[in-house]
Amino acid sequence: MAGFDFSDDVLQVARERGAIDEERGAPGELGDADLIVVAVPVTALQTVVRDLLDRGARATVTDVGSTKSNVSSDPRFVGGHPVTGSEAHGPAHATADLFDGATWFLTPSSATEPQRYRLVHGFVSALGATPVAIDPQAHDRLVALTSHLPHALANLLVNQAGATRVEGHEPLAAAGGSLRDMTRVAGANPRIWIDIFLENSGAIRESLAEHRRRIEQLEAALEAGDGGFLARWIGEAADNRRRMLEGAFPDPGDLHQLRVHVPDRPGVLAGITQALGAQRINIEDFELHHVSPERGGTLTLLVTGEGEAERAAAVLESQGYGVVVSPVLPE
């Protein structure tokens, strides 16, 4: 497996970690490959892919960019977008299980040669991901709603709170879990996200316009004191959240969360997971919200089954932790 990068340091790390077997001096030297995977910022995708294809390479070319509409409609190109990863980048942060079970969108065009699509489909499956075919324009509208809009709103919300004073009080200093939850992705790597916002600006603007319409509906209901609308609105949100969780958990209706106050001390998380593991209590997921070194933070654990959740709470309470148990989805 051969690789090219403009950074010699990146190539060295990739080789040391076994991601590539040999280095190439330029993208054009990859022409003898069967498959070329392009991983560059989205604003450079079209240029790099076009350059590879213009060289007349026999290789099938795919990519891992998060926007697809403007890349290429060449028969030798099969667009790809793995829906996984983190804000970290480069081979130094690679993990062997990164793609396990992840959705990997493939965006063939009407001109795509079938054998090339099958090649990329097989490559993605071999990495442990689940290939999902989708039209390039539909892909960009989908990720605008599910990824790009949340990032935009997280930035808007935390900037609104940061720019506001309420009779001298600093909202960010009084931020609760809901603000932290909703702004977790705020301020993400600008080198990546500026490109994404600009490349997919049309679809993001459409999503923002629909969001604005829904905000106006809520404003009208609040002005009119329309409790019926609010009840339907909250119920619809609960149903939609349940549908979303069904993709991640086999029985989201039976999920229970344990909120545990934990001190800021080394070994606390390891001690909790070991204690529950010793009782064969499975943690479906967890999240830590750090408040301050003095106050520690809140650890949220997800456990399936009310009985298992109560048993987990008893284990932790016996160790001196305060625990609050509640269903993830309200009845």
12 pLDDT more than 90 = no
The percent helix, strand, coil of the chain (3-state, each to 5) is 50, 20, 35
pLDDT digits 0-9 by tens, 109-157: 999 999 999 999 999 999 999 999 999 999 999 999 999 999 999 999 9
Determine the pLDDT at residue 87: 64
pLDDT at 312 over 80: yes
**CATH superfamily of the domain spanning 139-165+174-225:** 6-phosphogluconate dehydrogenase C-terminal like domain (1.10.3660.10)
Q: How confident is the model at residue 25 (pLDDT cuts 50, 70, 90)?
A: low
**Does pLDDT of 77 surpass 90?**
yes
Digit-coded pLDDT (tens) for 27-63: 666 767 889 999 888 988 999 898 888 876 688 999 9
pLDDT, tens digit (0-9, with 9 covering 90-100), for 240-295: 988 888 877 878 889 999 999 999 999 999 999 999 999 999 999 998 888 788 88
Instruction: Report the pLDDT value the prediction gives residue 295, as an integer from 0 to 100.
Output: 84
Alpha-carbon dihedral 114, 118, 124, 128, rounded to 10 degrees: 150
Note the pTM of the prediction, 2 decimals. 0.81
User: Residue written as tokens 């909790």?
Assistant: 272
User: 252-327 belongs to which homologous superfamily?
Assistant: ACT domain (3.30.70.260)
For the chain, domain boundaries: 2-134, 139-165+174-225, 252-327
Q: What is the pLDDT of residue 27?
A: 66
- Residue 300's DSSP bridge partners are 259, 287
Residues 276-291 have pLDDT tens digits of 999 999 999 998 888 7
Angle of the 201-224 helix axis to the 136-143 helix axis, nearest 10: 40
* pLDDT of the residue at 4: 80
Encoding tokens for residue 123?
A: 């490559």
Position 18 confidence tier, pLDDT thresholds 50, 70, 90: confident
Give pLDDT, residue 317: 94
- Work out the pLDDT band at 331, boundaries 50, 70, 90: low
Q: Which amino acid is at 124?
A: V
The model's pLDDT over 177-211, given as tens digits with 9 standing for 90+, comes to 788 888 989 999 898 899 999 999 999 999 999 99
Please choose, from the candidates 194, 188, 199, 193, the residue with its C-alpha nearest in 3D space to the C-alpha of residue 67.
199
Top CATH class of 2-134 equals: alpha beta
